[in-house]
Amino acid sequence: AMRVDAGSAGRRIPSTLFGVFFEEINHAGGGGLWAELVSNRGFESGGQNTPSNLAPWYAIGDDSQVWLESERSSCFERNPVALRMEVLREVEGGVGIANPGFWGMDIRAGNTYKVSLWIRSLDKVNLSIAFTSRDGTTTLAQSDLILDASEAEEWSKHEMVLEAFDTDHYARLALTSMHKRVLWLDQVSAMPEETYKGHGFRKELALMLEDLKPGFVRFPGGCYVEGGSLRNAWRWRDTVGPWEERPGHFGDKWNYWSDDGLGFFELLQLSEDLETLPVWVFNNGISHSDEVLPELLDPFIQDILDGIEFARGPMTSKWGRVREAMGHPEPFPLFYMAIGNEDCERQYYHANYLKFYYAIKEAYPDINLISNCDGTLKPLGHPADLFDFHIYTSANTLFSMVHKFNHVSRDGPKVFVSEYAVVKSDAGQGSFLAALAEAAFLIGIELNSDIVEMASYAPLFVNTNNRRWNPDAIVFDSWQQYGTPSYWMQHFFKMSNGAKLLPFAVESLNTSAVPVVLSAVRIEDGTSLVLKAVNYGQFPVEIRVSLEGVLSNEIDIFASTITVLSSESLMDENSFQNPHKVVPITSLFLSAATDMELSLPPYSIVALGLPLL
Ligand code: AHR
């Protein structure tokens, strides 16, 4: 039996408890959440020397009649490479270049797309701009850019909106000319006109995040922050300002080029659009292969202080002005920052950590600083507001960690479980079994939310064409997406942020023999109770639940619901073909009462929602 003290004031669960962790991994951002359709839009992906790398751009039409090369002739100082395209003779139907985007562009009839490009020519220009099928046989949307020679002689920007009259989920952008000419092209971008909150995020993916009601967004990594080497680490200042002037960089940890359209500003904007708080993980002078000596750290510290000023400095400050120019005069609420990622054991971590810690605390005492060292078993040995705890393991091990935080010292810093997941053979490419163990682990976190302040699953996204890490919560390609069971499992916890954890007692249920984990909360606005249970065992379990401190007629029986996530087989997964194979099913729970029987199916996650009248 479970006796819940529903009349108790309860203990407040931090509003930050369950959040999300966005890392640029698996093309999560470029070719994913960031709705830019063109890949390598500035022709810079091979670096700033020529010949640079034009791929994935390629010649189309009679390719013997077009000469393509990278040239350092751009009008952008920080992006010197442009494309020189020479059409060698008049060609009917035209010749030119195409960009397949990130494994195809999703172009849909009736939708509109904003294309912009920079161009120069010594002659008049008549350029066809079209979305076509991958093989070029079907035109889906088209527009012509016509300039006379005087208009074309200097670099100029042109923007147009193309409305698609046909659909192809794997389309390409084709720029062609029928006339013998030399054209220079640079910074070619294409975006759906409709994006999440108008800020450039792929709508369906952002809505899946919104649906989780995350308590924070941690970004942009992960290992991505560290870099395989320091020279390829993510540097916030290279990702802000006009997109044409962002140099982009090669993320050598996950091995792909990023145009950095989804930069520091956009990630702060994302957290605002999701009505949540940003958690910025910054490079602390340590990569996977090199480290900055503590005595050489000052410029790195200044760089991070400038980054904070960019995020939340006044408009009178240098970097606050840059933010204002990007359209956000108001400061972003940056109150959480992690000093590096998984670097505790590195030679200079402690020394570098302390330098960052004191410099940031002195200038911004209200920023909570997160250490990479694990303080669950022993004190950190340095000051911190929170410490990171990462766990990737088997289902049984994660289940056995339900009580992991019961004995963590309540006198030290708070815990941020910033990466957790069941991995390897238990996880498949996102199994129900993984979600089941993760749900039990999260109930353990909920029960320990006096010391655990934040938790996030990792990684969040995977583009199936570039699976660098498996499993992930949200799977997508150019046009479709689905949540793995681990994504849906998180829905059971979204009402917990800011809720009151209610005390309860368990009687005559031997939880060491019957693997059931339970919790009870009153949601933040006080309008309902939510009881959660994970049955990690193969047998059904019946639990008698009694609610004390509420009267039967205070429960809205006709609106009470039971939500169950279970599956025929533990290794069941969702897929593009069957995206809803393992999803929570909600039905009315007409037996709601202050004394009731709750049936937990074998291997199940269950939530009872009891609205109060
Ligand atoms: O989540 C994937 C990776 O796992 C992260 O980049 C890193 O922090 C961890 O090792």
Q: Strands of 368-443 (E only): list them.
A: 368-371, 386-393, 414-422
For position 512, what pLDDT does the model report? Answer: 72
- The residues carrying an active-site annotation are 342
| Model pLDDT, residue 589 | 97
Residues 293 and 317 in one domain: yes
What is the Å distance from ligand 1's center to 341 Cα? Answer: 8
The mean pLDDT of 84-102, rounded to a whole number, is 96
Q: Are residues 176 and 239 located together in one domain of the fold? A: no
Cis omega (within 30 of 0) for bond into 471: yes
The verdict on 346 and 283 lying in the same domain is yes
Q: Among 282, 390, 470, which is best to mutate for testing ligand 1, by the most ligand atoms less than 8 A from CB?
A: 390
Q: Is residue 255 part of a domain?
A: yes
Section 519-524 average pLDDT: 98
Express as a percent the part of the chain with pLDDT over 70. Answer: 100
- Do 460 and 486 form a contact (C-beta atoms < 8 A)? no
- Predicted local distance difference test score (pLDDT) of residue 509: 78
468-488 average pLDDT score: 99
Q: Give the Cα separation of 200 and 103 in Å (integer).
A: 19
Using 50, 70 and 90 to split pLDDT, how confident is the model at 127? very high
Nearest to 386 by CA among 455, 438, 287: 455
**Which atom of ligand 1 has the smallest separation from the CA of 421?**
1
Ligand 1 site residues (CB inside 6 A) read: 23, 25, 221-223, 341-342, 419, 458-459, 469
Are residues 570 and 476 both part of a single domain?
no
Helix axes of 298-312 and 264-273: crossing angle, nearest 10 degrees: 40
What CATH number is attached to the domain comprising 554? 2.60.40.1180
Q: For ligand 1, atom 4, which residue shows the shortest CA distance?
A: 222
Count of the separate structural domains present in the chain: 3
393 alpha carbon to ligand 1 midpoint, in Å?
13
| H-helix segments, 428-523 | 432-447, 485-490
Q: Of 439, 460, 493, which closes a domain?
A: 493
CA 458–ligand 1 middle distance (angstroms): 7
455 and 513 belong to one structural domain: no
43 in a domain, yes or no?
no
Residue type, 232: N
Q: What is the pLDDT of residue 513?
A: 78
CA of 281 to the centre of ligand 1 (A): 12
How far is it, in rounded angstroms, from Cα 287 to Cα 350?
15
Q: How far apart are CA 185 and CA 87, in angstroms?
A: 13
Residue nearest to atom 6 of ligand 1 (CA): 222
Q: In CATH, what number is assigned to the domain containing residue 257?
A: 3.20.20.80
Q: Torsions phi, psi of 230, nearest 5?
A: -60, -35
Instruction: Tell whether 210 and 352 lie within a shared domain.
Output: yes
Is the pTM higher than 0.80? The answer reads yes
CB 85 within 8 A of CB 66: yes
481-483 and 474-476 as β-strands: parallel, antiparallel, unpaired?
antiparallel
Helix (H) / strand (E) containing 516: strand 516-522
Rg over CA atoms, the chain: 27
Grouping H, G, I as helix, E, B as strand and the rest as coil, residue 13 is coil
Same domain, 366 and 404: yes
270 vs 513, more confident: 270
| pLDDT for position 442 | 99
Q: Are residues 578 and 602 in the same domain?
A: yes
Q: How many angstroms is it from 222 CA to the middle of ligand 1?
A: 5
Among protein residues, the one with the nearest Cα to ligand 1's atom 2 is 459
Q: If you measure from the C-alpha of residue 223 to the centroid of ligand 1, how many angstroms do you get, rounded to a whole number?
A: 6
For residue 53, being part of any structural domain is answered with no
Residue found under tokens 């390629």: 58
Sign of the C-alpha dihedral computed for residues 499, 503, 507 and 513 taken in this order? positive
Q: What is the mean pLDDT of the chain?
A: 97
In a domain, 198, yes or no: no
Average pLDDT over residues 138-143: 98
Task: Tell me: do 120 and 186 sit in the same domain.
Answer: yes
3-class secondary-structure state, position 102: coil
Residue 459 CA, closest ligand 1 atom number: 1
**Residue that terminates a domain, selected from 192, 217, 236:** 192
Which domain does 30 fall in, by range? 20-35+206-493
Same domain for 242 and 163?
no
Dihedral angle, C-alpha 64, 66, 71, 77, nearest 10 °: -150
Task: Give dist(CA 175, CA 312) in Å, integer.
Answer: 41
Probe ligand 1: pick from 469, 472, 486, max atoms within 8 Å of CB?
469
Beta strands in 221-357 (DSSP E): 249-251, 256-258, 277-282, 336-339
Choose one of 162, 192, 222: the last residue of a domain: 192
> CA-to-CA distance for 380 and 396, rounded, in angstroms?
28
Q: Atom 7 of ligand 1 has which residue's CA nearest to it?
A: 222
How far apart, in whole angstroms, are the C-alpha atoms of residue 589 and residue 569?
25
- Cα–Cα–Cα angle for 174, 200, 125, nearest 5°? 30
pLDDT confidence band for 354 (50 / 70 / 90)? very high
291 shares a domain with 177: no
In a domain, 519, yes or no: yes
Residues 320 and 390 in one domain: yes
Mutate to test the pocket of ligand 1, among 21, 22, 23 (most ligand atoms within 8 A of CB): 23
Residue nearest to atom 5 of ligand 1 (CA): 222
Query: Confidence band (pLDDT; 50, 70, 90) for 149?
Result: very high
Q: Whose CA is nearest to atom 3 of ligand 1?
A: 222
CB 342, CB 372: distance < 8 Å: yes
- Residue 354 inside a domain? The answer is yes
Q: How is residue 417 written in tokens?
A: 């479980």
Average pLDDT over residues 96-111: 98
Q: Note the pLDDT tens digit of each residue in 482-516.
A: 999 999 999 999 999 999 999 999 997 777 778 99
174: domain CATH number? Answer: 2.60.120.260
* Residue 604 is assigned to a structural domain of this protein: yes
CB 611 within 8 A of CB 560: yes
**Domain presence at residue 46:** no
Query: pLDDT tens, 601-612?
Result: 999 999 999 999
Q: In this structure, what token pair is assigned to residue 314?
A: 């006044």
